[in-house]
Chains A and B, each alone.
Chain A
Amino acid sequence: DIQMTQSPSSLSASVGDRVTITCRASQSISSFLNWYQQKPGKAPKVLIYAASSLQSGVPSRFSGSGSGTDFTLTINSLQPEDLATYYCHQSHITPPTFGQGTKVEIK
């Protein structure tokens, strides 16, 4: 199975900060990488698909980059409503797998 390793596992940042979360795949997955946001008590919601495409309706402060094995989710100008856990996900090579999650807290 492909292992998806996210870092950091958690972070605390201030409103307005730029936040970067990384996801590393144990083998190449091309650009078949999605990012999800899960707020407390809610279902996940897609932010980015195909590594860098912003899902319709998602604020432009979210962006994704990378290909192969290394990927990044960036939140420019963190907002209070961005308090959530963020997951990366690959389904290019079966079985589909998720990263362990990165919990983002607001200082």
Chain B
Amino acid sequence: EVQLVESGGGLVQPGRSLRLSCAASGFTFDDYAMHWVRQAPGKGLEWVAGIGWNSGNKGYADSVKGRFTISRDNAKNSLYLQMNSLSAEDTAFYYCAKDLGLYYDSSGIDYWGQGTLVTVSS
């Protein structure tokens, strides 16, 4: 059974940093691209970042480019999102998600984690 478990969310002040982690199990992690997708409370889904199976292909939404960094450690079956210079507009549930294929810009997402809430407020 595919499981994706996010951690690292919480309350953070504007301008500060936060690192999210996602522990993956139930599939061969380094055979698939991975994503972070966020959802502000009561709003729709927004793709944040994606990374290919071997970290060779990465992409970011314009809204986070230059502030967020996606990475993965295939030896640890883990996905990460380093978030810097956070603002209130980054407040959302952040979901770790598995792609159907090797590259983040190919087949789309199949499995999702339960999400971790990031609240940016003073």
Chain A positions near chain B (C-beta within 8 angstroms) = 32-34, 36, 38, 42-46, 49-50, 55, 87, 89-101
- The interface on chain B, measured as residues whose beta carbon lies within 8 A of the other chain's beta carbons, has a size of 25
Known: A32-B108, A43-B115, A49-B100. A95 touches B45 (CB 8 A): no
CB A21 to nearest CB in B, in angstroms, measures 14
Which residues on A sit within 8 Å (CB–CB) of B110? Answer: 34, 46, 49, 55
CA–CA, A43 and B22, complex, Å: 15
State which of B47, B95, B112 has its C-beta within 8 Å of the C-beta of A96.
Answer: B47
Chain B positions near chain A (C-beta within 8 angstroms) = 35, 44-47, 50, 59-62, 95, 99-100, 104-115
Known: A43-B112, A43-B113, A43-B115. A92 touches B106 (CB 8 A): yes
Contact A91 B112 (CB under 8 A): no
Which residues on B sit within 8 Å (CB–CB) of A87? Answer: 44-45
Contact A91 B95 (CB under 8 A): no
Which residues on B sit within 8 Å (CB–CB) of A34? Answer: 108-110
Known: A43-B112, A43-B113. A91 touches B106 (CB 8 A): yes
CB A63 to nearest CB in B, in angstroms, measures 17
Contact B100 A101 (CB under 8 A): no
A-B contact count (CB 8 A): 70
Contact B109 A46 (CB under 8 A): yes
Known: A43-B95, A46-B111, A91-B106. A96 touches B45 (CB 8 A): no
Known pairs A89-B109, A96-B47, A101-B45 / 19 extra A-B pairs, C-beta < 8 Å: A33-B108, A43-B112, A43-B115, A46-B109, A49-B107, A49-B108, A49-B110, A50-B107, A87-B45, A91-B99, A92-B105, A94-B59, A94-B104, A94-B105, A96-B35, A98-B45, A98-B47, A100-B44, A101-B44
